[in-house]
Amino acid sequence: MPRIKIGIVFGGCSEEHPVSVKSAREIENHLDAGKYEPYWVGITRSGAWKLCDGPDGNWETGRPVVLSPDRGIPGLLVLEDGKYETIALDLVLPVLHGKLGEDGAMQGLLELSGIPYAGCDVQSSALCMDKSLAYVVAGSAGIATPEFWTVRANEDVDPDRFSYPVFVKPARSGSSFGVSKVSRREELPAAIETAAQYDSKVLIEQAVAGSEVGCAVLGNDPELFAGEVDRIALSHGFFRIHQEDEPESGSENSTPIVPADISADSRGRVQETAKAIYRALGCRGLARVDMFLKEDGTVVLNEVNTLPGLTSYSRYPRMMAAAGVPLGELIDRIVSLALTGNAR
């Protein structure tokens, strides 16, 4: 049986570039060479596409390559000496995080190409990337969300309109880049300025009193599989492991507990809420749904990551592994979903 020709795209122009490279390396370590013929495409921070042997330290020296948006010329176009070579692909696995990776931009290019791809489509990717829009849609589906406000980077904001603490964050970013916890009104202007470094649209969100929990979801509606629930135990601040100097060695202020140390009833409620959020936002393939579990049992949406980290220390693969799906099998399921639309 011929191997599946899979294009694995990683890197990218966002602040989450290093996380993406680490995710690709972890996939390389678990990819079944008997099933897949991988074509590694790294995108540099400046936006250059490189066909390389893998996401090692020298990948940026690879050959120039682009993904053809022309369905009559399917696959990759390797550019060399004024000519191009075509490489047909059966599937593209985007391993990109943040802007131009999981916000619908890459998905739009893949839609034009006509090549099947893993993960959420254009609409759900863009919707989940913008936390304020995700809150509006999820709220209309009856899902609890934090109270929130959106402001522009240069907008004059009255700090007395809020009750503290609040979280200030870029509306369209990930991995906690640009996020600040504001406990006093005097801290608000600086927090908005920090968030505005990553996005012109800034979200001010009322802090939710509760445990930070997450759920890995896999599948296409109506057949969804929920991994084990995790809980982030914080000593102070907020979860920001991807900004640690050595995240592989753990976090300075947080410990992920998998399975979460919560009751079976709460675990089931979190999983069902995660599936409801996934469906409401139109997700497919995979996503990690982050939530808050309040003392009264209410589950509140925090955010949805449509291309969650797959590094050795990332939450999504840990939750799936705890549910009996190791990364090698997880890759197989993600590929199957993209090719057939059915989990198996």
Give catalytic residue positions: 19, 22, 97, 242, 248, 288, 309, 313
Dist CA 168 CA 182 (whole Å):
7
Given a contact cutoff of 8 angstroms between Cβ atoms, the answer to whether 153 and 209 are in contact is no
Cα gap 252→231, rounded to integer Å: 16
Partner residues linked to 6 by β-bridges: 38, 91
Q: Residue 260 gets which letter from DSSP?
A: -
- Cα 2 to Cα 130: distance, rounded to the nearest angstrom: 40
DSSP for 40-58, written as a single string: EEEE-TTS-EEEESSSSTT
Strand ranges (E), the chain:
4-11, 36-43, 49-52, 63-67, 76-80, 83-87, 91-95, 148-152, 166-170, 180-182, 201-206, 211-220, 223-234, 254-257, 285-293, 299-305
HSE-up of residue 203 (Cα within 13 Å, Cβ side): 28
Q: Tell how strand 180-182 and strand 63-67 pair up.
A: unpaired
Determine how many CB atoms are found less than 10 A away from the CB of residue 146: 18
